[in-house]
Amino acid sequence: MSYAYYPGCSLHSTAEEYDKSFRKVCSGLGIELDEVRNWICCGSSPAHATSHLLSIALPVHNLSLVEKSGRDEVVVPCAACFSRFKFALYEVERDVELSRKVNEVVGCDFGGKVNVIHPLEILSAKTAIARAKVVRDLSFIKAVCYYGCLLTRPPEVMKFDSCEYPMSMDNVLRSVGVNTLDWSYKTECCGASLALSETGIVVKLVGDILAEAKRAGANAVAVACPLCHANLDTRQAEAEALKGEKFGIPVFYFTELIGLALGYGQKELGLDKHIVSVEPYLNSLHGGV
């Protein structure tokens, strides 16, 4: 099985471990990823907050690159890119005039025949194979799955899982032996890019999310979004100071946990890149991973 792959800016920088671990898991499960050549940024929130046309044009350029390469499916791991790609498809499909304008400014003839999928969708279909390949016992991990905002909302656009209580990440992780817990903050917002402008808001939201994770009895948080990861991981110390409470909860990309279960090493999966260190955690809880 082979897919066009759009990593997006974060997976080449702040979320390199998401890229590394996703590639490892795919190679372990016989899934081939073919990175889109010369892809550009999806525009993310800076584009849709400043120009609606630009916010649709940037994803459409990338989608047209996929279409031109003869593929009809592209896998997009970053929740923000995933959202912008889905919004672009949704809008050009419904608005002929916008579609014409976008094709004109991009200089392409995008036919809309590209399916945008998230790694969780691919891996949800591979749980039986993944389960058979598990070589490491991770049953000591009690994770809460944090889906964040953009993977599932708004449902008419994203058409992915349930927007109030999603389960896809829970099911994938359970299939490789990770315990996942019931909790009510699955789709709360971490404040996203406000981290770089109004940091205090993000620290407060991160504190609320981690406090709830702790109350639920979790010893790990699993995420599928680079911005969720960055905020919960890099702002954890500030959130602890604000709440006057020690969390010490490592934040994993769900692909890192699958990778660990499949037997890959910490470094191969990029686990050394976390700010809340996972090494002592994995060592102390499991007599060494």
d(CA 211, CA 205): 10
Q: Is 276 in the site for another protein (CB under 8 A)?
A: no
Tell me how far, at minimum, the Cβ of 235 lies from another protein, in Å.
Answer: 9
Q: Is 239 in the site for another protein (CB under 8 A)?
A: no
Give the x-and-dash track for 124-163 against another protein (CB under 8 A): -------------------------xx--xxxxx-----x
Q: Is 14 in the site for another protein (CB under 8 A)?
A: yes
Q: Is 198 in the site for another protein (CB under 8 A)?
A: yes
Cα end-to-end distance, the chain, whole Å: 30
Which residue among 1, 49, 125, 241 contacts another protein (CB under 8 A)? 49
Which lies closer to another protein via its Cβ, residue 91 or residue 170?
91
Nearest-10 crossing angle of helices 226-234, 79-94: 150
Q: Is 272 in the site for another protein (CB under 8 A)?
A: yes
Which residue among 28, 29, 34, 45 contacts another protein (CB under 8 A)? 45
Which residue among 29, 117, 129, 201 contacts another protein (CB under 8 A)? 201
Binding piece for another protein, criterion CB under 8 A, among 66-74, 176-184, 185-193, 248-256 = 185-193
Which lies closer to another protein via its Cβ, residue 193 or residue 266?
193
Which residue among 275, 276, 279, 285 contacts another protein (CB under 8 A)? 275
Secondary structure string (H, E, C) spanning the chain: CEEEECCHHHHCCCCHHHHHHHHHHHHHCCCEEEECCCCCCCCHHHHHCCCHHHHHHHHHHHHHHHHHCCCCEEECCCHHHHHHHHHHHHHHHHCHHHHHHHHHHHCCCCCCCCEEECHHHHHHCCHHHHHHCCCCCCCCCEEEEECCCCCCCCHHHHCCCCCCCCCHHHHHHHHCCCEECCCCCCCCCCCHHHHHCCHHHHHHHHHHHHHHHHHCCCCEEEECCHHHHHHHHHCHHHHHHHHCCCCCCCEEEHHHHHHHHCCCCCCCCCHHHCCCCCHHHHHHHHCCC
Tell me how far, at minimum, the Cβ of 172 lies from another protein, in Å.
Answer: 23
Which residue among 1, 2, 12, 265 contacts another protein (CB under 8 A)? 12
Tell me how far, at minimum, the Cβ of 104 lies from another protein, in Å.
Answer: 7
Q: Is 106 in the site for another protein (CB under 8 A)?
A: yes
d(CA 220, CA 119): 20
Confirm if 190 and 205 have CB atoms less than 8 A apart: yes
Q: Is 72 in the site for another protein (CB under 8 A)?
A: no
Which residue among 32, 72, 73, 104 contacts another protein (CB under 8 A)? 104
Which lies closer to another protein via its Cβ, residue 103 or residue 127?
103
57 Cα distance to chain centroid: 22
Residues forming contacts to another protein in the complex (CB under 8 A) are: 9-10, 12-14, 16, 38-41, 43-54, 57-58, 61, 94-95, 101, 104-107, 149-150, 153-157, 163, 188-189, 191-194, 196-199, 201, 204-205, 234, 272-273, 275
